[in-house]
Amino acid sequence: MGKKLIFGALIALATFSVILSASVGNPKVIPDGYVDIGGQQYYINVSQYFKKDEARAFCNSLNMDIVSFEEKNKWDTINTWAQEHQDELSKHWFWIGAERVNTTHWRWEVSKKPITRFYWIEPEPDLAAEVSETICLGFVSYSFASGWCDDICDDEFIAYSVLCQ
């Protein structure tokens, strides 16, 4: 008798969950594909997560590269777009085409120019200077803030979405 009661309760809970999600609606998701951001064409992929080198290979397969923000207006434009699409982008972190050169200097990967403006999100950067692994940048947009983060590029547990330019 006890097992039937528990099974019945589980069925009722599952039914309630389906009804609740149908009435509330599922969160919007931006589909993978080309998007226009500020008059420029980008490719976004949020259905998969990539290691940094995989993200670059994915973008290169589209004759594109990982997004970078060498021009301040590009960061402003993409950041504004990300804030406007907050519901669809929630919990997605994206790789940036930048890397740490040494303990105090960062550069853009394609042009090799030094990064002179940073848009860190609190509490970033949080990797200690003594971390010797290759450090990469990513960006995230939350409803309360957006900005950059630092992460170990080849960490087996770190994978981000990708925005190609």
pTM of this structure: 0.75
115 to 15, 50, 82, 104: CA distances (angstroms): 53, 24, 22, 11
| 118-161 pLDDT, tens digit each | 998 888 888 776 676 677 788 887 766 788 888 887 777 888 88
| 64-98 pLDDT, tens digit each | 999 999 998 999 999 898 888 888 876 788 999 98
Tell how far CA 2 is from the center of its chain: 46
As a dihedral over the C-alpha atoms of residue 120, residue 75, residue 102, residue 133, rounded to 10 degrees, the angle is 70
d(CA 12, CA 21): 14
Tell how far CA 128 is from the center of its chain: 22
Gyration radius from the chain CA atoms: 20
| pLDDT score at 1 | 44
d(CA 2, CA 79): 55
131: phi then psi, degrees, rounded to nearest 5: -65, 120
- Give me the domains of the chain, ranges plus CATH numbers: 29-164 (3.10.100.10)
Closest CA to 107 of 137, 78, 139, 151: 137
